[in-house]
Structure 1
């Protein structure tokens, strides 16, 4: 019975890990996009609702951290300019401001969607490893025990990398985060996953 309990606990841990994740779902690189130069400055700019300034800070800072780990000159727009609303500026004004900060590329991180999902969880699992009677008795008792509902939060993200001088889109990546334990953890995983994909797409060096 003790062995069965350990197995059940293991399944529960694996289920939690599977349900809480951040992953890249698709990405694209322009055919003529060159590998980024480490000395060129990359401005990371997250676009989220103004009320979510903490989330913006987390997304920008963790992406900057991951890029800097690979030796790239990345900076956060929030750290550089503060909570400035560039949406009220003209394109010419924004480009001039970025060029004045010696920015070569801009990496935008846009929160496309955030919603909640309600899922039914039945009160049973694939537990057949404890022998005949523990398995039979467990199922017998669970036949009359109802399941329950869980509410999960799902985030949809899109990242775009632009060359500031030409205005060309160099790279685009779509990802989703399902029921992250915290937004900080989501931001950490997002930065790691996107930088890994940019490396795979040969926009960043392997080291």
Structure 2
């Protein structure tokens, strides 16, 4: 019985994990790019008005994760306020403002798209490490019987598509870009946390962040 309970808990956790996720869909960097502790990175998030809470969360979490790697990072929202880089500012003025804060690089975070999708999940069995194997004939048989003959169903997911670009102001060029997708994040706080973790993990994998 104890073994069955442990398997049931494990299956439940796997199901929850499947319902919400943040994953990297693509990334790229220039071959010679590598972040340096003495170069300040200004993190700038851009989101629609209805998602404004995500702006500070995205910037703060990325700053935190970059600092854990020994890098000098700052939030544009906390440095300049909410309207410092609006429609009326020119490229020259924007770069001058960044330079005045000693920023050498800019990491932009843009919410490309948010949409709610409905998809049909077909009927039929799905293989998995279920606890029914340990409970005798009937739990096993009845579980698979139900799986064989249950009807399909529709489920709705909310998907957030993000893009992060890292620009080097000294070289005047893009040196890193990454795209991610978050599906049904439980909270904005959790989404921002997982996003920052994913981006910094990929930066390390791409050797943009050097490991000592």
Question: TM-score with structure 1 length normalisation?
Answer: 0.87
Moved more, 128-137 or 67-76: 128-137
The C-alpha deviation readout for 1:69-102, integer Å capped at 9, x for no partner, is 1111100010011111524111111111111111
Q: Report the CA distance shift for 1:31/1:6 in structure 2 as closer, same or farther (over 3 A).
A: closer
Residue of structure 2 equivalent to 1:106? 106
Matched, 1:169 2:174: yes
Aligned residues: 206
Q: Could you tell me whether the CA contact under 8 Å between 1:22 and 1:175 is conserved in 2?
A: yes
**203, 206, 209: which one aligns with 1:201:** 206
Residue of structure 2 equivalent to 1:46? 45
Q: Could you tell me whether the CA contact under 8 Å between 1:123 and 1:148 is conserved in 2?
A: no
Question: TM-score with structure 2 length normalisation?
Answer: 0.85
Matched, 1:154 2:159: yes
Distance 2:204 2:73 in 1: 15
Q: Could you tell me whether the CA contact under 8 Å between 2:124 and 2:149 is conserved in 1?
A: no
Unaligned segments of structure 2, at least 5 residues: none
Q: CA RMSD in A?
A: 2.5
Moved more, 158-167 or 138-147: 138-147
Q: Could you tell me whether the CA contact under 8 Å between 2:125 and 2:147 is conserved in 1?
A: yes
Residue of structure 2 equivalent to 1:186? 191
The C-alpha deviation readout for 1:108-159, integer Å capped at 9, x for no partner, is 0111111112234559765551332223334556777656543221111111
